[in-house]
Amino acid sequence: MAGSKGYRRGTRNLRVGARDRGKIKIRRYLQKFLEGDTVSISIDPSYQAIPHPRFKGKSGKVTARQGRCYYVQIRDGGKIKNILVAPEHLKAIVS
């Protein structure tokens, strides 16, 4: 029987640590970013809508906002890509 080729295939390593289980962190859920802010993508698997796992650990600049999510411009290989990411998967980088 063939294995699944789904979007979340191979994401078993995206587990929540024992001390991070339970209630969501409302501060992380409601955080705000401005255009031009540098952010890092750190996937929190507690939330359903995650960015593609290949972007885990990448950093880039916030270029726009759509609803409560943000477009983050990153470099993937030689290409520049815009990824739509919810704020609970982003961390601000202080420069």
Given a cut of 80, is residue 13 above it in pLDDT?
no
Q: What is the pLDDT of residue 48?
A: 81
The residues spanned by each domain of the chain are 24-92
pTM of the model: 0.84
Q: Which of 31-35, 41-45, 56-60 has the lowest mean pLDDT?
A: 41-45
Please name the amino acid found at residue 86.
A
CA distance 67 to 8: 24
Tell the burial category of 84 from Cβ atoms under 10 Å away from its Cβ (0-12, 13-18, 19+): middle
Domain over 24-92 is classified CATH 2.30.30.70: yes
**Phi/psi of residue 29, each to 5°?**
-70, -35
Query: Per the structure block, which two tokens stand in for 89?
Result: 């998967």
Helix or strand holding residue 28 (H, E)? helix 26-29
